[in-house]
Amino acid sequence: MSKNILQDIVKIKTTKISPINNNGHFEVEEKKSVSHNTLWFIALVSVISLFFALSFLFSNATITINPKIKNFTLDKTLTAVKNSDTAQGLTYDLVVLSGDEQKTVVGGEEKDWEISATGTVLVYNAFSSLPQSLAINTKLEGSNGKIYKTKTKVVVPGMLKNVPGKVEVDIYGEKAGNEYNSGPLDFKIAGFRGTSKYSKIYGRSVGDITGGLLGKSSQVSDADKANVYKELEDALFIKLFQKAKDQTPADFVLLKDAAFLSTDEEDIIPAENAGSFILSVKGTFNGILFNKDKLEKEVVNENFTEDNSINGTTSDSTNNSAGVDTTTNPDVYVLNIEDLSVSSFDKSLITPDNMKDISFNLSGTVKIVWRVDTEKLMTDLLGKSKKDFDQILSEYSEIDSANSVIKPIWENSFPTKSKNIKIIVNYPK
């Protein structure tokens, strides 16, 4: 015989005798009360019911995903055209930076030196709005009474809204010797003496004029100079490459092998310390900036066949083999595209004044990473049973592996609201 759940509820009768009137009659009143065990049972059932109701109300799920990743090796000849609004296919642009590096070294054996002091001058044109040309070796009269000459031909811009035009030019002392070394100087153009231009076209040095030497001093051997210049050029390239990379727009990529340094000048001047010399190099950095999306597309197109398998690749991980849309390449990106090497291109074509279509070889080993459609996955999971998780995942070829955590632990289904599902994709960095 089954046990009645209420059989433990014990009814206790209590009797109360009260006088009704003065005739000696009494009324008997019986009351029933519930035992303490019954009260505790009812309270426990209420608490458990409330706990389950709240836990279901605040159920949530976290999905952690490892995307599909594959290695591939590329060795392909590509063509890029100068970037423009109408250009199709792979495009490129150019970044140009200038800089200098210097190093102080100690000389060896003595020799006779004849070195002219050098410096830099800003030449101003307050004469007219027309530009003024200055030939190479134009003589400048320094405020110290010495004559200096320009190293290159320059054109000084004309005035604009009463603001003098200006241009920077390197100078050197007319004669060798340390008497041409000087602090900042003012300059007049010797050839304009006696004309109205003499006071209106003038110069001011940028910093000190240094390096002049005439006499005996220790020297730096040709081998040591070559080694130091090579060291300085390497350091200058690294510095300018990093500067160019920092300035590269997010939609472009600068590949290390697609950049080069042209040395404009190598110089050596005596340092303040006797027997020491300052070796310096000046150079111009040219870097090719490829449109990142278009370069990735070239890489992906080269490595996917018509059925979206990858040519000649080795998989980092494999979990499912479900097919993907064969009409277009899957949604992927190239992880370390900056590691690809560029070679076999004509550097003479890569100058600001001579940007033309270029052909080059692109090679190296990088990774393709699949992007996960998290919005679709979340929609597919809403309200589904936990046991259907693996089946749902099998429909996503871009997922290598995944796991789910549903809370509370006794809940067997995913939440019915997307706000209660969190999807984390471990994209490699």
Q: Say what percent of the chain tops pLDDT 70.
A: 78
DSSP string, 371-404: PP-HHHHHHHHTT-BGGGHHHHHTT-TTEEEEEE
pLDDT tens digits, residue range 18-56? 555 555 555 555 555 556 667 666 666 665 555 555 555
Under DSSP, is residue 251 helix (H, G, I), strand (E, B) or coil? coil
Judged by average pLDDT, the poorest of 96-110, 262-276, 313-327, 329-343 is 313-327
Strands 341-343 and 60-67: unpaired
Would you list the domain boundaries of the chain? Answer: 13-56, 111-217
pLDDT tens digits, residue range 69-116? 988 888 888 888 887 666 678 888 889 999 999 999 988 777 787 889
* Greater pLDDT, 264 or 11: 264
Cβ atoms of 323 and 339 within 8 Å: the answer is no
Q: Which of 147, 218, 150, 143 is nearest to 176 (CA)?
A: 147
Q: Is the pLDDT of residue 322 over 50?
A: no
What's the average model confidence in pLDDT over 135-154? Answer: 96
Q: Residue 103: what pLDDT?
A: 93
Instruction: Name the DSSP class of 418.
Output: G
In this prediction, residue 327 has a pLDDT band, given cuts at 50, 70 and 90, of very low
- How many residues are recorded in the chain? 429
Mean pLDDT of the chain: 82
Q: Which of 151, 190, 191, 146 is nearest to 167 (CA)?
A: 151
Q: For residue 140, which phi and psi values (nearest 5 degrees)?
A: -115, 130
DSSP string, 341-356: EEES--GGG-STT---
In this prediction, residue 314 has a pLDDT band, given cuts at 50, 70 and 90, of very low
Tell me how far apart the alpha carbons of residues 295 and 59 are, in angstroms, rounded to a whole number. Answer: 45
pTM of this prediction? 0.59
CA within 13 Å, CB half, 414: 27
In this prediction, residue 1 has a pLDDT band, given cuts at 50, 70 and 90, of very low
